[in-house]
């Protein structure tokens, strides 16, 4: 994996939790449209602070399960501590990179703002598809930069497109 330039650990949890609060209404609507329901087994790839993983755990209820994976060991530890403090039994957090994803048998596999950070996003997307059982769904929320522009034009900006 290429070096990740954003902060990790406690600093990342604060940033990601703020982002999660801002995006939560749209994310919940997307998960509803994707058909997430009680009893589902879900995987949140690149779960960060685990905010969406916790939402999925609430939505699938006690008969379902939500698993969050992220490469940030401190972030995963903080998410585990939050799960224990909240008494959320149907959620699990694992330290694992998206690039090493080899999971199987999920009803729904989800990622938000992950693929844009990866050197080989198609490899991870393929692994996400493989992780879904027949009839399951892959849900991705991400950014698309092809329409990025700079006004007034800057030479440095053009080098990164």
Q: For residue 9, what pLDDT is reported?
A: 57
Distance CA 131, CA 109 (A): 7
Rg (CA), the chain: 16
Domains by residue range for the chain, with CATH? 9-159 (3.40.50.150)
- Three-class secondary structure of residue 136 per DSSP: strand
Mean per-residue pLDDT pooled into runs of 10, the chain (161 residues): 50 68 85 97 94 96 97 90 94 94 95 86 94 96 70 68 54
Q: End-to-end CA distance of the chain: give it in Å, rounded.
A: 21
**Taking CA 32 as the corner, what is the angle to CA 16 and CA 143, rounded to the nearest 5 degrees?**
45
Q: Provide the total of helices (H) and of strands (E) in the chain, helices listed first.
A: 5, 5
- pTM of this prediction? 0.81
């Amino acid at each position: 994996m290429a070096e990740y330039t954003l902060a990790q650990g406690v600093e990342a949890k604060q940033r990601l939790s703020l982002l999660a609060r801002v995006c939560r209404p749209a994310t919940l609507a997307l998960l509803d449209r994707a058909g997430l329901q009680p009893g589902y087994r879900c995987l949140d790839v690149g779960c960060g602070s685990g905010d969406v993983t916790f939402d999925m755990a609430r939505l699938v209820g006690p008969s379902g399960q939500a698993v969050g994976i992220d490469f940030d060991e401190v972030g995963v530890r903080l998410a585990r501590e939050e799960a224990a403090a909240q008494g959320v039994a149907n959620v699990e957090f694992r330290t694992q990179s998206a690039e090493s994803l080899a999971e199987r048998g999920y009803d729904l596999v989800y990622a938000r703002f992950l693929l844009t950070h990866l050197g080989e996003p198609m490899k991870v997307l393929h692994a996400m598809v493989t992780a879904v059982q027949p009839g399951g769904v892959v849900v991705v929320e991400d950014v698309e930069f092809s329409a990025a522009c700079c006004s007034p034009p800057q030479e440095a900006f053009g080098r990164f497109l």
